[in-house]
């Protein structure tokens, strides 16, 4: 089978969706009935794609991407179209119409939670298979999409084996966090993503510091929301207990996961949250809210702590006091590891809905 993948971000791009697509395409490429995979990304670097996956140069112009993709698809004649974003569905459907290839649509989060305008919503009826990263995204999608529920599956993020980093004393010393109790959050500081919950933790810090004076909140990531958060920090008088780390290397991030006493991201708009898996794979306890797809990586509280908006500060304090699970990293690998992810993709390729064209 020849697969055409239309994706926003692929090999050489950054972010959670890029990581998901890399994991997905890599797992797809080893399936025995897959002959070739051609990836057409909006963002990425073909030089970073593995030898068994052909990734073409990225094209950020919407119209050029559509024209080039359509022309290349007709020459390629795929047996399956992987549509990595809802916005690509009209293009995927047109290619499918001319090639008779079934469509596999992937949904991540907020982009699929509300009914889109125009043709896109109607075309979901033509999709053969939909995979969602979480139960929450699936539920929100099915609230408006006119599609058979049995054709909408869950395919969560996966995680590679975590290589435990030795805590770098120089790194800790430079950050000024040696001997501190650490809360860690990793994510973009985007004005369009207030939902990630940095401000909720900042609001809890005055209460937490009364019981844990040596507490320090580390914020990894950067973006145009930093100024707003800095104003909140001054307002709450916790400037000496918060450090903005900015964007750091994977090695440094691994080190921080290992150092942290708690990874917390009390989000209200997360499709899944691969950073929860990364933290737990390092053996670090995690905390989320109960309002979005974050509960899936935490397995409804079986792997991590799930709080409500009302009791967040209290639950944060309890989670910081709790002893970490000794086998957390192993449990995460059992549920979200690469082996299960690859087996899941193999099963999905064999589903009847991909064998019959609409």
pLDDT number for residue 172:
80
φ and ψ of 300, to 5 deg: 55, 30
DSSP single-letter state for residue 337: B
Residue 216's SS3 state is: strand
pLDDT number for residue 40:
96
Could you tell me what percentage of the chain is helix, strand and coil, using 3-state DSSP and rounding each to the nearest 5? 45, 20, 35
Domain 2-158+337-354: give its CATH superfamily: Glycogen Phosphorylase B; (3.40.50.2000)
Q: Where are the domains of the chain?
A: 2-158+337-354, 169-336
Domains 2-158+337-354 and 169-336 share a fold: yes
The model carries a pTM of 0.92
pLDDT number for residue 311:
97
Are 298 and 304 contacting, i.e. CB atoms less than 8 angstroms apart?
yes
Residues in the chain where the model's pLDDT stays below 50: 357-358
**C-alpha pair distances (Å), 119 with each of 25, 94, 127:** 28, 12, 13
Query: Cα–Cα distance between 96 and 113 in angstroms, integer?
Result: 24
User: How far does the chain reach from its first CA to its final CA, in angstroms?
Assistant: 18
| Buried residues in 154-186 as b, exposed as e (16+ CB within 10 A) | ebbbbbeebeebeeeeebbeebebeebbbbbbb
pLDDT number for residue 354:
86
pLDDT number for residue 250:
86
pLDDT number for residue 13:
94
Are 263 and 186 contacting, i.e. CB atoms less than 8 angstroms apart?
yes
Query: Cα–Cα distance between 234 and 236 in angstroms, integer?
Result: 5
Query: Cα–Cα distance between 10 and 85 in angstroms, integer?
Result: 12
Domain 169-336: give its CATH superfamily: Glycogen Phosphorylase B; (3.40.50.2000)
pLDDT number for residue 357:
47
Are 302 and 325 contacting, i.e. CB atoms less than 8 angstroms apart?
no
Residues 6+ apart with CB under 8 A from 318: 305
pLDDT number for residue 358:
41
Radius of gyration of the chain (CA): 21
């Amino acid at each position: 089978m020849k697969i055409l993948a239309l994706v926003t971000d692929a090999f050489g791009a950054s972010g959670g969706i890029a990581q998901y697509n890399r994991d997905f395409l890599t797992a797809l490429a080893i399936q025995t009935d897959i002959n070739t995979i051609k990836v057409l990304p909006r963002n990425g670097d073909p030089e970073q794609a593995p030898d068994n996956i052909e990734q073409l140069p990225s094209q950020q112009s919407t119209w050029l991407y559509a024209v080039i993709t359509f022309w290349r698809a007709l020459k390629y004649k795929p047996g399956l179209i992987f549509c990595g974003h809802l916005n690509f569905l009209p293009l995927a459907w047109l290619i499918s119409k001319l090639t008779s290839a079934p469509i596999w649509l992937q949904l991540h989060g907020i982009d699929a939670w509300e009914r889109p305008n125009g043709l896109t919503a109607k075309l979901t009826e033509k999709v053969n298979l939909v995979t969602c990263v979480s139960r929450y995204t699936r539920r929100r999608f099915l609230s408006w999409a006119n599609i058979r529920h049995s054709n909408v599956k869950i395919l969560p993020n996966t995680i590679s084996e975590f290589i435990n980093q030795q805590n770098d004393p120089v790194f800790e010393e430079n950050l000024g966090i040696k001997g501190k109790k650490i809360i860690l959050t990793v994510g973009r500081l985007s004005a369009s993503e207030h939902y990630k919950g940095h401000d909720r933790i900042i609001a809890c810090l005055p209460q937490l510091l009364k019981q844990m004076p040596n507490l320090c909140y580390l914020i990894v990531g950067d973006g145009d929301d930093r100024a707003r958060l800095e104003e909140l920090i001054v307002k709450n008088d916790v400037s000496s207990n918060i450090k903005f780390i900015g964007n750091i290397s994977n090695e440094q991030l691994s080190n921080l996961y290992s150092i942290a006493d708690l990874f917390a991201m009390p989000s209200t708009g997360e499709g899944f949250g691969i950073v929860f898996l990364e933290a737990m794979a390092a053996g670090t306890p995690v905390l989320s809210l109960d309002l979005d797809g974050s509960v899936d990586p935490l397995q409804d509280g079986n792997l991590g702590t799930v709080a409500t908006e009302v009791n967040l500060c209290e639950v944060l304090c309890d989670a910081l006091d709790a002893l970490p699970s000794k086998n957390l990293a192993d449990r995460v690998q059992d549920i979200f590891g690469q082996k299960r992810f690859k087996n899941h993709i193999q099963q999905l390729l064999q589903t009847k809905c991909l064998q019959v064209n609409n």
